[in-house]
Structure 1
Amino acid sequence: MHGKWLEGRESELTVLRWQYTPQAWADLLKRHGFTDVDARILPAPDGEGLGTLLVRAQGPGLRPSLSRPPGTAHAPSPTASLR
């Protein structure tokens, strides 16, 4: 970690976190009723260091058309105004 607030520290800052594998996330979500689960690690852009864990799943009891976050509905077709 870097930043002005770390200047002058005599020791490194330790950050504790949980780190599950993609399979562990998928299993956890499935046990809680999520479907269509996809969990993977995207490689780091430079090929070095840690990648990014990306997890996507369908919420329990939601239809796909209702599962989008608010404000992310599909835009109208460009040809819709030509009719």
Structure 2
Amino acid sequence: MKTTMRTFTTGTTTGATTAVMALLIGATLLGGCSNLNHRENRALTGGAIGAAGGAAIGAVTGGSAIYGGLLGGAAGAAVGALTAEDGKKQRR
């Protein structure tokens, strides 16, 4: 006796809908970054670079890319914030 299974997909989102939603959420989150001072901008940039580097190193070495990204992001944000100038130039 041969049985057949039927699958019905109703109410699922397509890949295009998911991509559009991700784009809208990303644009909304980046909109909050328009009024950053120099120190905050350096911390954000350092965190992004550190997270990408940490995730890559974690994945290549056989460790966890998630933990590598978290640790790299935290370290990059700290270094970026601590190395930023105060904005006050000294005249000599």
Q: Same fold (TM over 0.5)?
A: no
TM-score w.r.t. structure 1 length?
0.26
The structure where strand makes up a greater share of residues is 1
TM-score by length of 2: 0.24
More helix by share: 2
Which structure carries more relative contact order (alpha carbon 8 Å, separation 6+)? 2
Computing the radius of gyration over CA atoms, which structure comes out larger, 1 or 2?
2
